[in-house]
């Protein structure tokens, strides 16, 4: 997984917080969901959420042809297969669950050299510090803090 290693604007906006290991977020149930369970549910015939959202993301990219792109709560990268590296030279995916990002990296890292993945809380992002042609944020779930029981 590619973590921020220099001060590119799309990485600096989240890089300061990505290695946090303590605090209330450690009880976030999303941190433990395996990629197979998430994808298995969202692609089920009776759900078809991933298929629909992939088409929405594809249509956004076709219409806007973003040179820079942020995918927040990117999970395992549904719709990232539509990124054309000849058009989108830099893309950053942000997600709170590291194993899901690792699955994404294994799938798309080799064919998208401009893809950077950051394990972080999206609520820590400072959009004043960076900008993107397109920010895709499907099924927004994030909340500031989970509290220990």
Ligand X SMILES: C[S@@+](CC[C@H](N)C(=O)[O-])C[C@H]1O[C@@H](n2cnc3c(N)ncnc32)[C@H](O)[C@@H]1O
Least distance from ligand X to the Cβ atom of residue 42, Å? 6
- 29-32: Cβ within 8 A, 24+ apart: 29/146, 30/96, 30/97, 30/141, 31/96, 31/97, 32/97
Identify residues 61-100 at the interface with ligand X (CB under 6 A). 73, 75, 78, 94-97
Identify residues 108-127 at the interface with ligand X (CB under 6 A). 121-123
Residues 68 and 88 sit within 8 Å (Cβ to Cβ): yes
Collapsing DSSP to helix, strand or coil, 31 comes out as helix
Q: Give whole-number Cα distances, 96 to 7, 10, 20, 31, 101, in Å.
A: 21, 17, 11, 7, 9
Whole-angstrom distance, CA of residue 95 vs CA of residue 120: 6
Least distance from ligand X to the Cβ atom of residue 35, Å? 9
Residues 93 and 71 sit within 8 Å (Cβ to Cβ): yes
Least distance from ligand X to the Cβ atom of residue 29, Å? 9
Could you say which of 9, 16, 139, 145 contacts ligand X (CB under 6 A)?
139
Give the nearer residue to ligand X in terms of CB position, either 37 or 111.
37
Least distance from ligand X to the Cβ atom of residue 140, Å? 8
> If binding is defined by CB under 6 A, does position 16 make contact with ligand X?
no
Could you tell me how many residues of this chain bind ligand X (CB under 6 A)? 17
Identify residues 37-56 at the interface with ligand X (CB under 6 A). 42, 53
Could you say which of 43, 58, 67, 142 contacts ligand X (CB under 6 A)?
142
Q: Give whole-number Cα distances, 53 to 26, 27, 120, in Å.
A: 28, 28, 22
Contact footprint for ligand X (CB under 6 A)? 30, 42, 53, 73, 75, 78, 94-97, 121-123, 138-139, 141-142
């Amino acid at each position: 997984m590619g973590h921020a290693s220099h001060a590119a604007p799309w990485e600096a906006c989240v890089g300061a917080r990505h290695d946090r290991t303590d605090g209330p977020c450690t009880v976030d149930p999303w941190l433990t969901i395996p990629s197979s369970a998430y994808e298995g549910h969202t692609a089920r015939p009776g759900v078809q959420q991933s298929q629909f959202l992939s088409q929405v993301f594809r249509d956004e990219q076709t219409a806007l042809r973003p040179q820079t792109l942020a995918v927040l709560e990117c999970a395992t990268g549904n719709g990232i297969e539509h990124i054309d590296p000849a058009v989108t030279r830099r893309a950053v995916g942000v997600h709170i669950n590291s194993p899901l990002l690792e699955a994404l990296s294994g799938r798309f890292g080799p064919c998208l050299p401009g893809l950077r993945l950051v394990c972080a809380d999206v609520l820590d992002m400072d959009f004043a510090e960076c900008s993107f042609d397109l920010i895709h944020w499907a099924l927004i779930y994030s909340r500031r803090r989970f509290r220990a029981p």
